[in-house]
Amino acid sequence: MIVAEDDAKQAELVRRYLEREGHAVTVVADGLAALEQVRQGTPDLLVLDVMMPRADGLDVIRVLRSEERELAVLMLTARATEDDLLLGLDLGADDYMTKPYSPRELMARVRTLLRRTHRGAGEGGPGEGGVLRVGALAVDPVRHEVAADGVRIECTPGEFRLLAAMAAEPDRVFTREQLLAELHGFDRYISSRTVDVHIMNLRKKIEHAPRRPVRLLTVFGVGYKLTDPVKGASRAPGR
């Protein structure tokens, strides 16, 4: 586990709490050092401050996701506006906390992310023991893999959780609140727009024309559903 925080007192506090729960922790004080540490090993989780020297946390997330690294990222930020937080999620952060924060709540967030990461890596989940298929879209909860039309798609852990939940119940309309619950752990003050960001990113990955989706549909006034466009060709889709 890596903690990237340039405030030495904050970094030491987080390190002590994590080690108290049995985690091996490496602390770094800037963004480039965080990238180097991730590349040298296979950490489960990166606790990442946004405001850091050499490379800020948002740049670190951009690079990690461009390299298709699937570790969970918990973002720490003093930027409390919704747009800033949505930007972090859009880039691929899995959860965030705004400063100042409670160390005990931070540990609870860490436990939640690690449970979900480990479950995705092989402890089951929706459709345990089998691949979830919605037309030419395949979601493997055990291997944490997604393929569309036979081509593997890289998803962040948050994107994967939403897609797996919908793939387990094709054609079910999920409200934003229900999908937000699948992302368990996000700040209770953030709006359900966080779901919209993930949906937008998923459409870019699984749709041939993201602005004219045929798989991941909007049901106006309600939420979203995942469907097989071939099976539903005879129906009038809600988009």
Which one has a higher pLDDT value, 188 or 210?
A: 210
Domain range 132-226, its CATH number among 1.10.3720.10, 3.40.50.720, 2.60.40.10, 1.10.10.10: 1.10.10.10
Residue 135: pLDDT over 70: yes
Question: Could you tell me the strand order of the sheet in which 95-98 lies?
Answer: 26-28, 2-4, 45-49, 72-77, 95-98
Average pLDDT over the chain, rounded to an integer: 83
The pLDDT assigned to 230 comes to 85
Burial of 54 (0-12, 13-18, 19+ CB in 10 A): middle
Domain range 2-123, its CATH number among 3.40.50.300, 3.40.50.2300, 3.30.470.20, 1.20.120.450: 3.40.50.2300
Of 15-24, 151-160, 180-189, 229-238, give the range with the top mean pLDDT: 15-24
Mean pLDDT confidence for 65-86 = 79
Which three-class secondary structure state does DSSP give residue 115? Answer: helix
- Nearest CA among 103, 215, 116 for reference residue 158: 116
Phi-psi region of 112 (alpha: psi -120 to 50; beta: other; left: phi over 0): alpha
Instruction: Give residue 66's pLDDT band: very low, low, confident or very high (50, 70, 90).
Output: confident
Mean pLDDT confidence for 181-197 = 64
Residue 178: pLDDT over 90: no
Decide: 158 and 89 in contact? Cβ < 8 Å: yes
Show me where the domains of the chain are located.
2-123, 132-226
Give the span between the Cα atoms of 193 and 195, in whole angstroms.
5
The pLDDT assigned to 218 comes to 95
Q: Record the tokens describing residue 165, joined without a space.
A: 């939940």
Residue 119: pLDDT over 90: no
Residue 187: pLDDT over 60: no
Residue 205: pLDDT over 50: yes
The pLDDT assigned to 120 comes to 45
Residue 68: how many other CB atoms lie within 10 Å = 9
Give the span between the Cα atoms of 70 and 93, in whole angstroms.
11
Mean pLDDT confidence for 184-204 = 72
Which one has a higher pLDDT value, 84 or 168?
A: 168
The pLDDT assigned to 125 comes to 39
The pLDDT assigned to 123 comes to 39
User: In this predicted model, what pLDDT tens digit does every residue of 16-62 receive, in sequence order?
Assistant: 999 988 889 999 999 999 999 999 988 889 999 988 999 998 999 98
CATH topology agreement for domains 2-123 and 132-226: no
Q: Please give the share of the chain, as a percent, with pLDDT higher than 70.
A: 85
